[in-house]
Amino acid sequence: MNILDEEFAEFQKLPTEEKIECFEKNGRIFDMIISQQLNREILDDIYRITNCLRHISKSKAGSLFMQNILCHKRAMLWFTQPSSRTFLSFESACHMLGMRTSEIRDVSVSSEVKGESHDDSLRTFSSYTDLIIMRHKGENISERAAWLLNTRTNRPVPVINGGSGSDQHPTQAILDVYTLQRSFVNQGGLDGKTILMCGDLNRGRTVRSLSYLMKNFEDIRIIYAAPRAFQMRDDVCDFLNKNKIPYVVETETLEKVLPEADAVYMTRIQDEHDVTAGESGRTDTSRFKLSLSDLSKVKPNAVIMHPFPRRDEIEVAIDSDPRAMYWRQERNGMWTRAALVAYIFDVQNEILDY
Ligand code: NCD
């Protein structure tokens, strides 16, 4: 343990409400680390910017205008865990706003192989860029990065968590809720809906971040469908209890709860987190997959979502069903991430006034 390890351990003991103050500046979000930082007002702001960017980008003049918005800023994508969607959508989002980007995708080409600490690499990278977007297998690495830059350096740059271990993936939750809100635009929005989450709820960071965001909506009900071994962890369940968000746990079969759902959010088994070889394979997940024959049990107005990558949780034949929203959901990622970056740099008025 070095002194930073000790100090960060103290920081982590703080209640979430106090911790997230460290990720704010002038009453605004500076670093995007965990979903609990987001409230309805901020989400609505980000979605307003998202809609505006989508509209502006339709014309050449609009695209050129967007290219100017952050052309004086640089972003670094530090993605040392596999990623295609999140990486590309962030890179495209930055480019859309005129930012130049650089990247590290492989620790084996970084000085960490020479024994440099992650903290020192971070300080080095932060001196060449104005924004760091991170994906890492470690649970609290983005949190530590934001804490270190904000409290131990003179030139903090914002940090965005692009996925941290099996803990959180807040920008996925932002795009998921955007997709849900748009899908339910003629049904009163997300308020009052039942969200069914299925798959590896224990180690999947997307369903964790999405669950935390549900506190911003009225009368939400959650159904967690997974075998016992893959059920949602206590920390999220405690959060739901504290915020009076009703949830039910289904451990037998997805089929039984399908008719109740307004949104069916499927996820894959996260076997990269297995501690012993073949551990995930020892649990039977066959009753937690969505096949074409199940569609008759899904409400006609419901949406089917997936953060991707997909394995066999959703049969490919379902893709052409009008309720399949996952490809649209994926495209929404680029727009909501561009909006988040614009929000962080406080340039949204330029966009909204266009
Ligand atoms: C997810 C992730 O990385 O957590 N993918 C993504 O970013 N869309 C989901 C997954 O890997 O299963």
In tens, the pLDDT along 9-54 reads: 999 999 999 999 999 999 999 999 999 999 999 999 999 999 999 9
| Residue with CA closest to ligand 1 atom 11 | 309
User: In which band, very low, low, confident or very high, does the pLDDT at 106 lie, cut at 50, 70 and 90?
Assistant: confident
| Residue with CA closest to ligand 1 atom 3 | 163
Cβ–ligand 1 distance for 165 under 6 Å, the answer no
> Tell me, what's the pLDDT at 17?
96
Cβ–ligand 1 distance for 81 under 6 Å, the answer no
Q: Is the pLDDT of residue 71 over 80?
A: yes
Cβ–ligand 1 distance for 86 under 6 Å, the answer yes
Q: pLDDT exceeding 70 applies to what percent of the chain?
A: 100
Distance CA 146, CA 125 (A): 13
User: In which band, very low, low, confident or very high, does the pLDDT at 111 lie, cut at 50, 70 and 90?
Assistant: confident
Phi, psi at residue 261, to the nearest 5°?
-90, 140
DSSP calls for 117-140: -HHHHHHHHHTT-S-EEEEESSTT
> Which residue is catalytic, options 169, 182, 208, 268?
169
Cβ–ligand 1 distance for 308 under 6 Å, the answer yes
Q: What pTM value is reported for the model?
A: 0.98
Mean pLDDT throughout 116-123? 94
Mean pLDDT throughout 87-91? 98
> Tell me, what's the pLDDT at 134?
97
> Tell me, what's the pLDDT at 114?
86
Q: Is the pLDDT of residue 109 over 80?
A: no
| Interacting residues of 306 by C-beta distance below 8 A, sequence separation 6+ | 265, 266, 267, 313, 314, 326, 329
Q: What is the pLDDT of residues 159-210, one digit of tens each?
A: 999 999 999 999 999 999 999 999 999 999 999 999 999 999 999 999 999 9
Mean per-residue pLDDT over the chain, rounded: 97
- Tokens 């983005």 sit at which residue? 142
135 classed as catalytic: yes
